[in-house]
Amino acid sequence: MSQADTHFIPNNYTPVGDLIVIAICFVMLALIYFSYMRKSPAFRVFMTIIFTLILTAVLNVTYNALASRFGAVPVVYAFRCLFHAALFTVYFLFTLYIAEVTRLDRRKTIRILLGAFAVLAMIVVVDVASSIRSFNEGHSAVELSSRGRLVFLVGYLAFAATNLILLATVRRRLYKWVMFGFYSSVALAFAILLFQQILGGGSSFTVSSFLFPVIAMFYIMHSTPYDAEIGALDSTTLNATVSEWYGKKRNFIFMSLYMPELAGEGEQMPDEVRAAVRQFAVEHFRNALLFQPDHGHLLLLFPKNRNPDYEHRLEKSLKALREYHRLYQYDYKIVIGESIEAISRKNEYISFIRNTHRGMALNTVHRINPEDTAAFDRSEYILRQLADIHSRHDLDDERVLVYCQPVCNVATGKYDTAEALMRLRFEDLGLIFPDQFIFLAEENGYIHTLTEIILHKTCDEIRKLTAEGYEINRISVNVSVLELKADSFCDDISGIISGSGIPGEKVAIELTESQNESEFDVMKSKITELKDRGIKFYLDDFGTGYSNMERIIELPFDIIKFDRSLVIASGSSSRSEKIVRNMADMFSDLNYSVLYEGVENESDENLCLDMSASYLQGYKFSRPIPIEELRRFAERKKEIS
């Protein structure tokens, strides 16, 4: 055998490319180990690709080392065939990965994989058969190497075409920048191989060309979603984790920390809180995962079996959290519980915990119990009904009921005004009060539909009462500030009123003051526009929470509703009474009417009458009643003979 035949590779193969592939693959494995990756079918295929790529690089190094030492001997060609088979197995796994990522239906996936496997089998068989035949015919090492490269090149082009066609077929199922990322990595891989062939062939960088699409997969599809500062994962990863643990029947403990002051959009977690969270996430529990579903909300999950002493650890954690509260004065709500089969199956822990938060006082800890699950099931049922009401958009929907509370007009002593109040009635739950559904409607964008329905039904009843000769000056309807943001709000409201055939002044809208600057500007423009159409406006709940006198006076309200809390305060101390009286006198002097809510007895009534009351509302006069019963309070107009 000549010297040329003894040295199998004519272009001085260097193992640098393969060693780099092995190193990068191990770096990716380390990153995967120290971060969180969703264990999806696509991820499992991705892991198989990495290990196969390592094997391929090892085979290439071994093959070239043996070839340079022993020349054209059977074991060398066996390693070359194994090397090629491993390369095309990586390509076959690329095909499987694309099918998994795009969630192709089972039949299409099977057809695609059978086709790709047929290409793989054909290439391997041809490669093995060609090697055996050439060796038996006594071809030189260089000839055998040349034929092997030809078989590889044909197979490479066949698989490349297969995967590019597959990517083009599923392009509508992938985000375009993801597509471009994959295409770019494939193009770069092809360019590396082409450049290698121009320089004289060989396989120094063949395996490394396969690495570029793998890096694209790692970065685009499986990059870690950790918050680098506190080690928290996002809500998408939370859902993936719950699904994975539920599938493995792994029980876990969850601990939720909600800080209302940090819950606003754009609120930044202070450095001292971040430091505390970092320490908390690392030190307290084994195999714990920390999630940040939203601003101001952190959720810790840890396997129960890995933390048999979790009660002790929880108490230690609560002690630390209380100390942080003492130091930094951030209010909190903490919820602790064990995984619940029904909640895990539906993957609803975020909604479940938020529903639990609503009933908690600040700076308290709540342990989940069966009543919480029942309350959540009730809330979810109501939400489904609200979604159906919203989608149907039937203004006569029988599930939405109009109640009202008569309001006494101090000047006339008559009940010629009232406040419309919403109730829901569902077959499975009966009568539902606003505190059980308004927040759900607001959070999920259904509130405006409910407003339209109650306004339509109220206008319809005003029309009937007026036609029957009853004296009805107006009935007010509550509107959420959130609704004012819609461009169509004014047209929706005035359209329903005018469509009912009643004058605009027969309806009033009640609004609660907003603290938000942008909401205030929107509120002012919408009130002004609707007042021009004859509709009156009430400022609801004055005296509760935030009250900015400058803003209130700037808004063109007609009636200021003093909350029940001001009535109670006035009756409890002379100082409070003086403050409330002066505020009521001021509003009266500015031509606002003052309506006192929550008048429950004669003492309340006399007190309010002495404090510039224009209207009185409360249990002293009537509890909320179905709007059809308003006839019991309203008076008919006297006939003029």
Query: Which CATH number fits the domain that encloses residue 608?
Result: 3.20.20.450
Domain membership flag for residue 638? no
In this structure, the answer to whether residues 496 and 598 fall within a common structural domain is yes
In this structure, the answer to whether residues 558 and 428 fall within a common structural domain is yes
In this structure, the answer to whether residues 406 and 347 fall within a common structural domain is no
In this structure, the answer to whether residues 486 and 592 fall within a common structural domain is yes
This prediction's pTM:
0.70
Structural domain range at position 594: 380-632
pLDDT in tens, 519-547: 788 888 999 999 988 999 999 988 776 66
Domain boundary among 165, 197, 222: 222
Quickly tell me which residue has 């790692």 as its tokens.
218
Give CA–CA dist 301/101, Å, rounded. Answer: 27
DSSP per-residue codes, 57-91: HHHHHHHHHHHHHH-S-HHHHHHHHHHHHHHHHHH
**Closest-CA residue to 376 (of 333, 434, 440, 446):** 440
Strands 474-478 and 414-426: parallel
Domain membership flag for residue 518? yes
Q: What is the pLDDT of residue 359?
A: 86
In this structure, the answer to whether residues 363 and 451 fall within a common structural domain is no
Domain boundary among 324, 346, 368: 368
Q: What is the pLDDT of residue 170?
A: 65
Q: What is the pLDDT of residue 3?
A: 40
pLDDT in tens, 281-315: 667 788 888 898 888 899 999 999 999 999 998 99
- Strands, E, within 268-394: which ranges? 289-294, 297-303, 333-338, 364-367
**334 in the Ramachandran plot: left (φ > 0), alpha (ψ -120 to 50) or beta?**
beta
pLDDT in tens, 366-419: 999 999 999 999 999 999 999 999 999 999 999 999 999 999 999 999 999 999
pLDDT in tens, 131-156: 777 666 665 555 555 555 666 677 66
140 burial type by CB count under 10 A (0-12 exposed, 13-18 middle, 19+ buried): middle
In this structure, the answer to whether residues 248 and 308 fall within a common structural domain is yes
In this structure, the answer to whether residues 439 and 559 fall within a common structural domain is yes
Domain membership flag for residue 440? yes
Domain membership flag for residue 637? no
Domain boundary among 339, 368, 397: 368
Q: CB count, 10 Å around CB of 632? A: 10
Q: What is the pLDDT of residue 78?
A: 86
Domain membership flag for residue 227? no
In this structure, the answer to whether residues 519 and 600 fall within a common structural domain is yes
Q: What is the pLDDT of residue 413?
A: 93
- How many domains does the chain fold into? 3
In this structure, the answer to whether residues 198 and 285 fall within a common structural domain is no
Q: What is the pLDDT of residue 1?
A: 39
Q: What is the pLDDT of residue 148?
A: 57
In this structure, the answer to whether residues 356 and 495 fall within a common structural domain is no
Which residues in the chain show pLDDT less than 50?
Answer: 1-11, 640-641
Domain membership flag for residue 230? no
